[in-house]
Amino acid sequence: MISHSVLEMSRTIPLRIRTLVAKKGKPFFLFARLWLLVTAFTLPAKAQNSSRLFDILPKIATDTVNLADSLAQKPISIEQRIQQNQQFLNATQEIKSGLTKIPDTMFMQNQIPVIELVLQRIQEQSLAEQSTVNLRLLNELENLIIGYDQQVNKWQEQIDEKAIDFIEFGKKLTRIQEFLDQEKSLLVTDGPEEYLKQKNILQQKFSSVDSLYGTKRMAGLRIQTRLSGVQIQLDELLESLRLRQSNFRRDLLKRDSPYIWQSHAANSEKPFSQVIRETWILNRVILRHYLETRNGWLILLAIVFLSVYLGTRNMIAKIYRTKDFSNLILDRSKYLRYSPFLGTALILFAIGPYLFSFPPYLLILIFLFGSILVTTFLIQIVLDRQSMFLWYLMVVSFFVFGASNLITQLAHQEKWYLIGFSLLGIGIGYRLLKRINEKPKLFPVNLPYLVYFFIGMQLLSVGCHIFGRFSLGKLLGIASALSTMQGISLYVFVLVLMEAIYLQSELSKENQKDYANFLNYQAIYVRLKKIFSFLALLMWLYLLLVNFSLNQALANVMFDFLQETRTIGNTKFTFGSILIFFLLIWISSVLAKNIAYFASIRDSHSLQQRNKRLGSSILLIRLAVLTLGFFLAVTASGLTLDKLAIVLGALSVGVGFGLQTIVNNLVSGIILAFERPIQIGDVIEVGSRSGIVKEVGIRSSTLQAYDGSEVIIPNGDLLSQHLVNWTLSDKSRRVEILVGVAYGSDLEKVHAIIEKVIVRDGILSFPVPNVLVHNFGDSAVEFRVLFWVANFDQWLQVKNNVLRDIYQAFARENIEIPFPQRDVHLKSPKGKKDPGGDQLE
């Protein structure tokens, strides 16, 4: 078979042969034709492209004719030849620069034999019928082969890109060679000395570049040939591995060892010390080979860890120096204050396994060991001695189960210590449940569920070992132990993240006054904790599947299920596209909702300055996020425009029949966002409702009434009804008070007393307060008092203080505040007496 890239390269015929064809004519043309056939069919490639070989032969004849025609042409002038020499010199330099920039294939040449040797060992030792490998090793080998496959595909892409460059370089070199051959055939030996030097320089550079071109081209052909063989071998091994995994999972419930009351033929197995030694060698080789290609990534992780640690330490130190209540702030940060280094290390170890593609199990276990050790040092500051003793026992069990999971062969000698540590784990779990009941505030709320899961899995593991299901029992015991410890470590990881956010929010109050003044950690703690807890749950579920050796199998099943094309009528779709569509819509809605939430917190603390509030403008941001999410969902899911038009058409019909009100509210929401008649925190009156705007939504807005209730008002009502906004331009308000004094009072004195009372803090001096005689009432002379307060939220309190002071001042000056009085006369008919015996007149 002949690959496409090889055929394309072969189109560029070696320059010497092309020259000989031009000079010697048809006999050598036949020889060249035979040479190309032999060379092309000795190169490995794909059969479907073999027909392209014969496209080369007409090209040779065509080039020969073109060259002959060029020889017959009239010689060009010296000036033109000098110009052509310069052009070809520039082209030669460009080709040399391009060949120099092409990456060297020496790394591939060194790595490919290693990969071939590893694949050969896997085929001979691990996939042989008589080999006694376990499911964990099969999964490990699958990850290794998938990693190799990704690397080989990446190398093949690089070679394909080189092939395109080689084709272009070959065409340019062919034209230069034709020009040089023409110069030789015309025997141009006269001309300026500079011209002859120019010709020699061109010839020398061309020879050098032509040699470099041939060397790199042949190296690329050799690498491409070997990569094709490696790719075929990888596909075959991956298929064999997955078939054996499927068989292993199918037989997992079958008995693979004697019952616990039966004797076991130990002489049929390797010594356990040899199994451990071989396990260590294999895991070490796999890990070393995996990390060899990721040295840069490891260095980047180290730099990130160091940067985060130094940033955390400086943040704590700055809080000590700049905050008046630094001890109060840091007391809320237990773990980071105790050790910034351990807190940063826990974050790195917790997310480490998810930063690598198809990591070997030993690398995952190293990160888990690190997170458990760091967690051990951190939780000792919050747990009592008895609880820490239980934790130490769990850590020992974790190390034993983790080390056992590294064993890559079926070694039934593990049965007894696995049963022993499973029973120990059951006892630890039972005792831990009692401690949780005794001191519930000392432990996480969801910890009992994790402990129940651990005890149940360990009981199943012991039962499997008793009844001869060794592989299944080992799988259940190890997976439950590792997952339980990781779950506890992830809980502490979430707390450390929350502490880091809290400390940063407190520190930001010094540098970002406009934002930090509203950043209330307690207000957003619950929301952030839910988000981080959900992410931690996903991380825990992923490693749980890895520990159960189900991650790849489940991923393959899910991928096949989601990518299978299905048909309803004339419409074709996949569940994967539907899932992507709704997932992106959900993510955009969550982002829009959280943006609105944090904006509402900001505006609730920025009521004094309306121009610094986002207000209803946040609605535009929410609409932009939702719109962008919708179009991304449509694009990612593969929904075509004609199908989208059908959906929009159906939506328009729905609008016409019954969705007018909803669309009206949606459009009204957009109008509110642009016109901005209200913002979050404004005091408004709509109809008979009054209160503070809490949220401006897409369809409706929320009004918090003064009695504590929250009123949902459709946006259409906000535009259609009379809307009174007390805080549209500012928060000042005019207060009016009516005060009555008795007839006969000294009006000038009353006027002076009231004016003196309203000169106080909280009442604006401009506009100037006024005291006016308002009316002569039935029983009093009424004064009208007008003044302005700067803050609408305080006008009731200011009015209360003014009324109290006026009353007290009138009392001191003996000024009467009259009230209506009536004389009531009761009459009854003569001869009737009241109950007391007196006769009523």
Taking each helix axis from N to C terminus, what angle separates 415-438 and 470-511, rounded to the nearest 10 degrees? 40
> Is the distance from CB of 606 to CB of 612 less than 8 angstroms?
yes
> Is the distance from CB of 647 to CB of 634 less than 8 angstroms?
no
Tokens 């002038």, residue located:
77
Mind listing the domains of the chain with CATH numbers? 1-73 (no CATH), 77-250 (no CATH), 266-556 (no CATH), 564-725 (no CATH), 733-812 (3.30.70.100)
Cα distances (angstroms) measured from residue 765 to each of 758, 761, 762, 770: 10, 10, 9, 10
Half-sphere exposure in the Cβ direction for 804 (13 Å, CA): 6
Left (φ > 0), alpha (ψ -120 to 50) or beta: where does 309 sit? alpha
The phi, psi pair for 813, rounded to 5°, reads -95, 10
Average pLDDT over residues 621-630: 80
- Tokens, residue 634: 């449509």
Flag the least confident range among 25-29, 216-220, 590-594, 774-778: 25-29
Average pLDDT over residues 742-765: 90
Encode pLDDT of 530-549 as tens digits.
Answer: 888 888 999 999 888 888 87
Among the ranges 47-56, 619-628, 650-659, which has the highest mean pLDDT value? 619-628
Q: In the predicted model, is pLDDT for residue 13 greater than 60?
A: no
Could you check whether the bond before residue 767 is cis, i.e. omega within 30 degrees of 0? yes
Which of the two residues, 424 and 117, has the higher pLDDT score? 424
Average pLDDT over residues 441-468: 90
Flag the least confident range among 594-603, 729-738, 754-763, 780-789: 594-603
How far is Cα 518 from Cα 574, in angstroms, rounded to an integer?
Answer: 46
Which of the two residues, 249 and 739, has the higher pLDDT score? 739
Model pLDDT, residue 288: 83
Q: In the predicted model, is pLDDT for residue 435 greater than 80?
A: yes
Between β-strands 566-568 and 689-696, what pairing exists: parallel, antiparallel or unpaired? unpaired
Beta bridge pairs of residue 689: 686
> Is the distance from CB of 677 to CB of 648 less than 8 angstroms?
no
How far is Cα 360 from Cα 628, in angstroms, rounded to an integer?
Answer: 38
Average pLDDT over residues 216-228: 82
- Tokens, residue 588: 């955009």
How far is Cα 23 from Cα 34, in angstroms, rounded to an integer?
Answer: 18
Average pLDDT over residues 277-294: 81
Stated length of the chain: 841
CB atoms within 10 A of CB 581: 20
Taking each helix axis from N to C terminus, what angle separates 660-675 and 617-637, rounded to the nearest 10 degrees? 120
- Tokens, residue 110: 């060194």
What three-state secondary structure class fits 680? coil
Encode pLDDT of 325-378 as tens digits.
Answer: 778 778 878 899 889 999 999 999 999 888 888 788 889 999 999 999 999 999
Encode pLDDT of 799-819 as tens digits.
Answer: 999 999 999 999 999 999 887
Q: In the predicted model, is pLDDT for residue 45 greater than 90?
A: no
What three-state secondary structure class fits 265? coil
- Tokens, residue 451: 């402990």
Average pLDDT over residues 101-118: 76
Percent of the chain scoring above 70 in pLDDT? 77
Average pLDDT, the chain: 77
Cα distances (angstroms) measured from residue 777 to each of 254, 679, 745, 757, 820: 103, 43, 14, 23, 10
